């Protein structure tokens, strides 16, 4: 009768393995071939593609750019998202209105909103410069200089994804137990001490989970970049995914892009594991 358990697990597992394992194995195999637009086919050239990856400064620069972009955007999202969640956690006026509003951006399609943001950052016709001028700050060449384009992408990422952080943290706050707060109130702790000694430690596991989830999603950034800047100007906003996309699906260097993908995937998994461990050590109380 406990054969029944396979009825539950197997359908999903088989489908996922079928859809995921083949592409992964295929990518590994292709990464050892010279498959490109001139010679499509699975020859074997050993580790030559990987040797090329190590010398490809454009790839490593894109990875550095991605790290800066994803870490800074996730930190901003965390700080803002936590502040917003705390603000609408307890009874305040228009609480439900704010909560709904703060969730809205994560429901919208990133590429579609990027199309809108591109018109907002338009240098002569867009409102971003218009508003800056109105408050006397002068204009910014949003999408045509490297730093400004990077900041534009960062702004859009924060707009789009702070709501997700807000949602995870608010769901956590809502589920916190009441007793520690009563104890803190009896001790006469003020709001800042209550936050530092009760709320923040209780939220630590949720904080870690939320930051890791967001880092995973942020590490895939490429759609915003594709629509807003196409990686430019030059390569100023080119992230790893976008660079691999250019090599693979625009230049059709299938073999080389597979090697890039695998290198990228391995680096991603290792660094996320390390970040998770470090966060856990920093925020969770030692056991035993």
Binders of other proteins among residues 116 to 175 (CB under 8 A) are: 116-120, 124-127, 129-130, 159, 167-168, 170-172, 174-175
Count CB neighbours of 136 within 10 A: 6
Stretch that binds other proteins, among 57-65, 68-76, 79-87, 193-201 (CB under 8 A): 79-87
By CB under 8 A, residue 8 contacts other proteins: yes
What CA–CA distance (Å, rounded) separates 149 from 76? 18
Nearer to other proteins, 188 or 190 (CB): 190
Q: Rounded to the nearest whole angstrom, what is the least distance from the CB of residue 236 to other proteins in the complex? A: 20
Which string of b and e fits 224-237 if b means at least 16 CB within 10 Å? bbbbbbebeeebbb
Instruction: Choose, by CB under 8 A, the member of 19, 135, 186, 282 that binds other proteins.
Output: 19
The verdict on 270 binding other proteins (CB under 8 A) reads no
Stretch 82-121: interaction string toward other proteins, x if CB under 8 A? -xx--xx---x---x-xxxxxxxxxxxxxxxx-xxxxxx-
Among 51, 68, 183, 249, binds other proteins (CB under 8 A): 249
3-state class (DSSP) for residue 218? helix
* Position 248 contacts other proteins (CB under 8 A): yes
SS3 content of the chain, % helix, strand, coil (to 5): 75, 0, 25
- Give, as one character, the DSSP assignment of residue 5: H
Residues 41-70 that bind other proteins (CB under 8 A): none
Q: Which string of DSSP letters, residue by residue, matches 57-126?
A: HHHHHHHHHHHHHHHHHHHHHHHHHHHHHHHTTSS-TTHHHHHHHHHHHHHS-HHHHHHHHHHHT-TTTS
As measured in angstroms, the least distance from the Cβ of 210 to other proteins is: 9
- Alpha-carbon span 87 to 98, nearest angstrom: 10
173-232: contacts with other proteins (CB under 8 A):
174-175, 206, 209, 216-217, 219-220, 222-223, 226-227
């Amino acid at each position: 009768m406990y054969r029944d358990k396979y009825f539950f697990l197997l359908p999903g597992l088989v489908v996922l393995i079928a859809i995921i394992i083949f592409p992964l194995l295929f990518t590994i195999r292709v990464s050892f071939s010279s498959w490109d637009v001139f010679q499509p086919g699975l020859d074997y050239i050993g580790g030559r593609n990987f040797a090329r990856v190590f010398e490809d400064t454009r790839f490593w620069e894109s990875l550095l750019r991605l790290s800066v972009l994803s870490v800074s955007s996730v930190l901003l999202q965390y700080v803002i998202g936590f502040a917003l969640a705390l603000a609408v956690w307890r009874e305040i006026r228009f609480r439900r209105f704010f909560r709904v509003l703060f969730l809205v951006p994560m429901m919208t399609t990133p590429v579609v909103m990027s199309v809108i943001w591109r018109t907002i950052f338009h240098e002569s016709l867009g409102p971003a410069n218009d508003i800056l001028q109105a408050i006397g700050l002068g204009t910014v060449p949003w999408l045509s200089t490297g730093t400004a384009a990077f900041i534009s992408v960062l702004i859009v990422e924060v707009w789009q994804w702070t709501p997700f952080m807000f949602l995870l943290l608010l769901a956590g706050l809502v589920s916190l137990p009441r007793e520690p707060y009563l104890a803190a109130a009896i001790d006469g702790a003020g709001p800042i001490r209550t936050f530092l000694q009760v709320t923040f430690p209780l939220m630590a596991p949720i904080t870690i989970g939320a930051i890791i989830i967001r880092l995973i999603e942020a590490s895939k950034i490429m759609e915003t970049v594709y629509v807003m800047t196409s990686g430019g100007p030059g390569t100023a906003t080119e992230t790893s995914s976008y660079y691999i996309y250019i090599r693979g699906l625009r230049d059709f260097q299938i073999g080389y892009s597979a090697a890039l993908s695998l290198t990228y995937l391995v680096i991603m998994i290792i660094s996320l594991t390390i970040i998770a461990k470090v966060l856990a050590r920093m925020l969770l109380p030692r056991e035993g």
